[in-house]
Chains A and B, each alone.
Chain A
Amino acid sequence: MHIPDNFLSSPVWASLDALAVPAVAVVSRKAQKSTDSNRLPLLGVMGAFVFAAQMINFPVGMGTSGHLVGGTLLACLLGPWAGALVVTAILVIQALVFQDGGVLALGANVINMALMGVLCGYLPALALFRTRWKWYGVFLGGTCSVLASGILALAELALSGIRMPVALLEASLGLFAVNAILEGAITVSVLRAIERLNPSAVREEVVRSGRATWSKVIAALAGVSVVLTAAGVLVASTLPDGLEQVANKLGMPFGKHPAFRSPISGYQINSLGGAWFSRAAAGLLGLFLIYVVCALGGHLLGRMRRSYL
C-alpha cells in the first residue's frame, strides 16, 4: 500500500503533501500535549515494537501469510493522536531506510495510512468499546483501517491518470479486503493476548478519551465522507472518460484534473518559456511556496495559542 515515487502526477502528490504537512503539525502538537514526560520513550519504543511485530508472519492457509499493519493496534494502545504520530514516523523511516514508499509520495502515504487509517480504525473501536461487542468493534476498526487506506491509495492512482482495467481493479480491491479482514483478526487476537498479560494497557487509553463528543462525531463524518469520495473517484475512473464526465455533470470547468486547479496550474509558468525550465521552476516554486505557507502558518498558530493561553 506504500505508493512509490513517480506514480502520482505532480498536482496530486503536491496537493497531498500540502495537506499532510499542517495535519502532521497538528497531530504532533496534540500527541505531545496529551502526554506525560515518559511518553517520548514510550512512543519511540512502541514504534519500534510495531516494526518488529510486522515481521511476525500470520499463516492464513494455502501457503500464504499476512502480517500486522498496526494502525488500529497503536490507536488502541496509545490513543489516536499518538498512534497517528507513531505511524507517521514509521512511514518516514520506511521511505528513507527501507525504500518502502516514495519521498515525494510521503504526504499521500501519511494521509492514507497514518491519518485516515488510524482515524478509521480508532472510531469503530471506540464506539463499541464499552458495550458487549467490544471485540467486534476492534475487528471492525482493523478492517476499516486497511480498507480505507487501500481505497484512498487506489483513488489517488486513478486521479493521477493510471487507468486500471476493471478486472484488475476488482482483483486488487479483493486483495485489500482479504488483507483488511486479516488485519482485523490479528488486531483482535493481539489485543486480547495483551489484555491477558497486561490488563491496564488497553483499557486506559481507549477509555480515557472514551466519551462521545461532537468533535468525534464530526471526525467520523469527515472520515466516512473522504472514503466515500475516494470510492466515487475509483468508480468514476473505471467508466470511459469517467472523471471528465463527472466533472461535466457537476458543472465544473473541463480539465484533465478538475479538482486540482492551482495558481501554478498544470505546473508550468508560461512567461519563462521552454517546457523543461518552466516545469522544473514551477515544481521548485510550488515546493517553496508550500514550505513558506506551512512555516508561516505554524508560526502564527504558535503565536495565537500562546497569546490566549
Chain B
Amino acid sequence: MRYIFREGNTQDGVIQQLDARVKLVLLIAFILSIALLARPSAVQLAVCLCVLAAIAAAARLAVIQVLRRALLVVPFVGFFSLVVFLSGDGQRAWSILAKSYLSALTVAIVISTTAFPRLVAAARFFRVPAFLVEVMQLIYRYLFVLAAEARVMQTAFAARGGSTGRRALEASAGIIAVLFSRSYEKAAMVYQAMCGRGFSGTLSRAEWRPLRVSDIAILSAGLLLATVVHFISI
C-alpha cells in the first residue's frame, strides 16, 4: 500500500478553504476536460500542467513534491501506453500517458488539500447514497489502524524466521484470519462506543453553509479554465 498523501496540507490556503462541494465539481470538470482532449497538442498539455502547478502553488503545497507524487501512476499507465504504442498508434500512446499524468495530478491536488471525509460528505450532497458515504467514511477511518496492525503481524512473522513454500501460504492465511477476528472484535467495540455516544443507525449529516462569493468566483473561474483549454488551437 502506498501512502502517497500523508503530508498533504488540509488546513490553510486558498484552495483548502474552498467549499468541498466546489472542489468536487471542479475535480470532475477538470478530469472530464482532460479526458475530452482528443488529440491534444503539446501546447495544450503544457497549459494544463502550468494551470495545475499554479493551483498547487496557490494551495501552498510543495509543488515539486506533488508533481513527483503524481508520477507514481506512470509505471502502471506506462505499461498500457506501451500496448497502445505497439499496436501502432504512437501519438495516441503519448497523449494517453500525458493525460493520465495530468488526471492523477488533479486528483493528487484535490486529495492533499481536502480531508477525505469532507470530500465524500460533499458527494452525499450530490445524492450519492448516504449508506455508501457512511461506509466509505468508516473504512477510511480504520484503514490506517488495521494496515498498521497487519504490518506489525508481518514483522512478527518475519522476526520468527518466516518460511517459504506451502508453510508460508498457510502462515499468510493465518495472519489474515487473525486480522479478521481482531477486526471483528474491533467492529463490536466501535459499535458499542458509537451507541454510547447516541448512535441510532445513521451518522450525523454534514451541514453546509451557503456558498460564499469567493467559492462562486473560483467555481466559475475553474469551469472557464476547463473550457478554455479546448480553445487553444496551436
Contact = CB atoms under 8 A, between A and B. Distances in A.
Contacts, number: 252
A6 B191 CA distance: 41
B164 A284 contact: no
A254 interface: no
B177 A194 contact: yes
B33 interface: yes
A96 B107 contact: yes
Given A41-B194, A168-B86, A189 B103 contact: no
B230 interface: yes
Interface in A200-233: 201
Interface stretch (A49-57, A129-137, A143-151, A239-247): A49-57
Interface extent on B, as a size class?
35 or more
A25 B131 CA distance: 10
B177 A55 contact: no
Contact of B230 (A41, A99, A103, A280): A280
Given A37-B201, A279-B36, A93 B146 contact: no
A63 to B, nearest CB: 10
Interface string A47-80: 1110111111111110000001000000001000
A40 B203 contact: yes
A96 B132 contact: no
A279 B139 contact: no
Interface of A (DSSP majority class): helix
A31 interface: yes
B26 interface: no
A189 B172 CA distance: 9
A177 interface: no
Contact of B35 (A6, A42, A57): A6
B17 interface: no
Interface of A: 4-7, 10, 13, 24-25, 28-29, 31-32, 37-38, 40-49, 51-61, 68, 77, 85-86, 88-90, 92-93, 95-99, 102-104, 162-165, 168, 185-186, 189-190, 192-194, 196-198, 201, 267, 275-277, 279-280, 283-284, 287, 291, 294-295, 298
16 contacts: A5-B103, A40-B131, A40-B135, A44-B141, A45-B138, A45-B142, A48-B146, A56-B154, A59-B165, A96-B111, A96-B116, A103-B28, A104-B32, A104-B35, A189-B173, A284-B32
Q: Give the 4 A-B CB pairs with smallest separation, nearest first.
A: A44-B138, A193-B177, A47-B139, A276-B230
Given A37-B201, A45-B138, 17 more contacts: A4-B80, A24-B132, A42-B191, A46-B183, A47-B135, A51-B143, A58-B169, A59-B168, A89-B132, A89-B136, A99-B104, A162-B80, A162-B83, A165-B86, A190-B180, A193-B173, A196-B177
